[in-house]
Structure 1
Amino acid sequence: MRVGSGLQRAQRFMMLATGLYRASHLTAGFVAVLRRASGEVAPWAVFGGILAFSVWLYGNAYARGWFDRRWVWADVLVTGCAVPLLVALASGGRTGGGWLPGGADVAQYGWLFLLGGSVSAAAGVALAPRPAAGAVLLLLGTTLAAYLWVIGPPGAPGSANVGHLNSVVSSAVMARVFWWYLRRQGTQLDEAKERALTAEAARARQAERIAHHRALHDTVLATLTTIAAGRVDANAAQVRERCAREAAYLRRLIQREDAPESTGAEAAEVAVGAALEEAVRSAECLGLKVTAQYHALPPVPRPVATALAAAVSEALNNVRCHAGTGEAFLTAVGAGGGVSVTVVDRGAGFDPAVPVGAASDGSGTGLRRSIHARLAEIGGRSEVDSAPGEGTSVELRWPA
């Protein structure tokens, strides 16, 4: 059982509840002995023995995490049955003459009958249903026999005894019901946690796959598409350099271990201008001329810089592949701790009213996944403004 699980919390609560119930009865016993037999040794000896056993019972339970059934049975047989019977017999019963002080005056030891309730509560929680029912019957028989021996007359139990009998039964029943409910809730909580962890792991794997798909779409696929279309010389030094970088990326992707990355590295702030410039150089390797301007760019968290650079890379890929022009303009400025990046071309443009993913130029998937989704994930936003024959403007803002 995992530490801190719902089931363990339910067990801890029931041990605490039954322990407090026992403590209330012991407190009543202490007050009774102090008031009626403060100068006598026997009542204090009985109280001290039961107190020591109770401390051991609950201390052992807390150390183990739950009750030991053997000690619960010992509690039933000793605290709930043997001690009250022995005290009743030693008191001399209705005729007096017993070897314990007090004779037929049960007031000195009446608090022992209270313990039947807390003993039955512990048994109702720790034992299986049938053994718990047997323990309750033993406690009922002991209480009734001791009462009739001390008080009598036979066959005429008084209201106090009826109250003790009711306490034994009701304590066991209520404790059992509470334990059933709390155990059920704790188990359901643990199952819900397991489902949430499984779902979170699945979402993490899906997010990782999407991230790799985006990266492959924006890098390797874009490079291969450009080379296949004959738009660049595959033997050119810049193209070969880009192919080498992307081959290294694929190699790392295949060989990457499943260990999570350092959160400290992800949270570190970096210069966003360097990340954007890398995206610009990558596009220029495939023959696109990019005029870039940067002004007062603040440092941003690494995930933000990575997402902005990847979105810019996709915007430049779209210019190169779909705009029908070999030139693009990039402007990146900082304001109020945020960043605004604009990529503009004077190419063919397209109709933004066409549903995303249905654009005839094939740009829908890249806009949706590599630009809009990336900016949304980092708390930013993106806007695309275009019209047929009027070129295209892509604006990226962080934060939104």
Structure 2
Amino acid sequence: MTPGVGSGLQRAQSFMVLATLLYRASHLTVGLLALARSRPGHPVQYAGLAAALGLSVLVYGTALRRGWFDRWHIRADVLVSGCALPFALWAWGGVQDPASMGWAMLLGGSASAAAAVALERFQVPAAIALLVLTHLIGYRLVGAGPAVLAGHVNSLVFSAAMAWVFWWYLRRQGRLLDEANARALAAEAHKARYAERLEHHRALHDTVLATLTTLAAGGLDANAPQVRERCGREAAYLRRLIQQTADEVHHREIGAALEEAIGSVESLQLRVTARYHDLPQVPPEVAAAFADAAREALNNVRRHAGTGHAYLTAAGESQEGGGAVVTVVDRGPGFDPERYVPGLGLRGSVHRRMAEVGGRATVDTAPGEGVRVELRWPG
């Protein structure tokens, strides 16, 4: 699974890339100092160091940019910097003693460390064995003694072992951190859903239950226009509540703001069918802009559409940043947008309100096709 941005696993990867980069930088520095002391150096030695430097830039530059190593780059580094370079220096670079070969051999240690954390599990022993074998042969070619051979093999093996242990520990801690964060987010979501249910329970108690209790006690005339209007609003609220599934519970800010806008126009004899799906958390000013723009769009339906019914949908957008889209639709006669000059309501309460918070509003209509107003944030 690809780690998310800022996740514990990604941080562990970034640390290992930086740690192995510093390890390689120390070995390249030793090579630069060694060649600087051996003037005039052989051109092949400078070419070898330049090749190792260029390959290091490719390996670690790509890793820093992408967040982790490219395995093909690691394999190339093992073969070129770790294995081929010592033989090239011995064959064409005039290196005939262990001291002159030492800086090139050091690169094998940083190559083994990167291989231990980046390659697949079964490939790591093969890479380490190849480095050990080639370095033993290379040191024997320049007459290194048993102590040098043993020390260098120890360095190769334990560079890989320590890097793997560090990577295993950091990866484990990163995953534990991600799991803890996931549990915390789930707990917050559960808490928000519980608070949402409590809010609905209070609203039901104060509206539907109060109305039914009063009607049952005979304190109201059920046929009175005001009572019928109130029952209609509360039935619409119950309908929207039932239609919401557990995954579609809206966040309080935008959902409550839209419900308030719908309630205000329903009191003016406009019936609204509303549906919500996966609404994101938005800033309060954005929720207010959505509500005010939707209220004006619904008022336009009541005033101009010649119909007593409007449809409102609100949904989150699957994009980074938690965007949202609210649409208001009617099945009225529509109009010709080429011949219609937007009034103050559309210009000020719809388009301008959305623009002020970084959103936008669009109106789609044609004669006989009704009107569709879309509110989108971010725009």
TM-score by length of 1: 0.57
The match for 2:127 is 135
1:110 partnered with 2:96: no
**Structure 2 CA distance for partners of 1:25 and 1:249, relative to 1, 3 Å:** same
| Partner residue, 1:243 | 231
Quick one: which of 132, 151, 170 aligns to 1:163? 151
**Separation in 1, partners of 2:186, 2:130:** 48
Letter of the 1:157 partner, please give it. P
- Tell me, what secondary structure is at the counterpart of 2:146? coil
Quick one: distance in 1 between partners of 2:240 and 2:72?
A: 59
Distance 1:48 1:38 in 2: 16
Conserved 8 A contact 1:11-1:66: yes
Q: Check 1:60–1:210 CA distance in 2 against 1; reply closer, same or farther (3 A cut).
A: same
Q: Hey, what's the Cα distance between the residues in 2 that align with 1:248 and 1:77?
A: 71
- 2:154 counterpart letter in structure 1: N
8 A contact 2:23–2:110 mirrored in 1: yes
Q: Report Cα offsets for 1:339-376 as digits up to 9, x if no partner.
A: xxxxxxxxxxxxxxxxxxxxxxxxxxxxxxxxxxxxxx
**Is contact 1:36–1:107 with CA below 8 Å preserved after alignment?**
no
Q: Which amino acid aligns with 1:142?
A: T
Q: Distance in 1 between matches of 2:253 and 2:220?
A: 39
Percent identity over paired residues: 58
Amino acid at match of 1:50: A
Question: Which of 171, 174, 195 does residue 183 from structure 2 map onto?
Answer: 195
Structure 1 residue 6 displacement after superposition: 2.1
Task: Give 2:75's aligned residue.
Answer: 73
One-letter amino acid of the structure 1 residue matched with residue 199 of structure 2: A
Cα pair 2:45 2:93 within 8 Å, conserved: no
1:146/1:200 CA distance change after superposition, 3 Å: same
Aligned to 2:45: 43
3-state SS of 1:143 partner: helix
In structure 2, relative to structure 1, the CA distance for the partners of 1:144 and 1:131 (3 Å cut) is same
Go from structure 1 to structure 2 and tell me whether the alpha carbon gap of 1:266 and 1:29 turns closer, same or farther (over 3 Å shift).
Answer: farther
The answer to whether the Cα contact below 8 Å between 1:124 and 1:176 also exists between their aligned partners in 2 is yes
State the Cα distance separating 1:106 from its structure 2 match: 4.1
Determine the structure 1 residue equivalent to 2:213.
225
- Once the two structures are superposed, the pairs formed by residues 11-90 of structure 1 within 5 Å of their partners are 11-88=13-90, 90=91
How far has the Cα of 1:244 moved from its partner? 4.0
| In 1, Cα distance between equivalents of 2:221 and 2:252 | 39
Q: Which runs of 5+ in 1 are unaligned?
A: 91-98, 268-300, 302-400
Structure whose alpha-carbon radius of gyration is higher: 1
Equivalent pairs, count: 258
1:171-204 Cα distance to aligned partner (Å, 9 max, x none): 1000011111111122222233333333333332
Please name the residue that 1:10 is paired with: 12
- AA aligned to 2:107 is L
Cα deviation, 1:192-243, whole Å, max 9, x if unaligned, reads 3333333333332222222111111111111111211123443445544543
Taking a change above 3 Å as real, the CA distance of residues 235 and 113 of structure 1, as seen in their structure-2 partners, is same
What is the letter of the counterpart of residue 103 of structure 2?
W
- What's the CA shift for 1:266? 7.4
Provide the C-alpha distance between the structure 2 equivalents of 1:161 and 1:266, rounded to a whole number of angstroms.
74
- Quote the residue 1:125 is aligned against: 117
- Residue equivalent to 1:206: 194
Residues in 1 aligned to 2:115 and 2:240: alpha-carbon distance in whole angstroms: 61
- Residue type at the aligned position of 2:156: V
TM-score (norm 2): 0.60
CA contact (8 A) 1:43 1:108 kept: no
Q: Give the deviation of 1:34 after TM superposition.
A: 1.0
Structure 2: stretches of 5+ with no match in the other structure: 258-284, 286-379
